[in-house]
Amino acid sequence: MATLTVWKFDSATAAGETIDALEILAKQELITLHDAATVSWPPNAKKPKTRQLRNLAGTAALGGMFWGMLFGLIFLVPFLGAAIGAATGAIAGSMTDVGIDDDFIKAVRKEVVPGTSALFLLSSDAVLDKVKTALDDLGYRPQLIQSNLSEAQEAALREMLAEA
């Protein structure tokens, strides 16, 4: 089963800079990368830049439409008029079916702000201590914002990251 996680970085470029390390871990079979996208929000920009990583060889890739809808809900809805409200409500309802609910959207919207970046990662079979070590070796200390892991799994991951 794949897990969707969102990792926030305190730099506008850091999320994009972690991709090479994750691809190396995938080649070492320490994580299976199905799909990923990054959000980069330069300090003085009005909105973030998004990028889907199409070079991943996962068979469960979500596609640009999914990432577009998700990023639209997270970053654009506060700025859209009421005329689009019904359509975004329908999209939000369909996202809830795959575990992306209002709490997920609010948590990401609150944390990913100008001067930060985020990695949206669909993965499975992760050897978490190796993933964390690879990111630490790059000098990053990402914050896990949201995940569809069970509460026990998420608590264990947060504890592991806090200890470092």
pLDDT digits (tens, 9 = 90+) for 7-38: 899 999 999 998 888 888 889 888 888 888 89
| Per-residue CA distances from 117 to 7, 30, 41 (Å) | 8, 24, 6
The predicted structure's pLDDT at residue 116: 96
Q: What are the tens digits of pLDDT across the range 93-102?
A: 545 444 566 7
Helix (H) or strand (E) segment spanning residue 67? helix 64-71
Q: Which of 25-29, 103-107, 111-115 has the lowest mean pLDDT?
A: 103-107
Give Dmax over CA atoms of the chain in angstroms.
49
pLDDT band for position 71 (cuts 50, 70, 90): confident
Burial of 120: CB neighbours in 10 Å, binned 0-12, 13-18, 19+: buried
pLDDT band for position 117 (cuts 50, 70, 90): very high
The predicted structure's pLDDT at residue 78: 46
In this predicted structure, the answer to whether residue 86 has a pLDDT above a threshold of 50 is no
In this predicted structure, the answer to whether residue 125 has a pLDDT above a threshold of 70 is yes
Most confidently modeled range among 4-13, 68-77, 101-110:
4-13
Q: pTM of the predicted model, to two decimals? A: 0.72
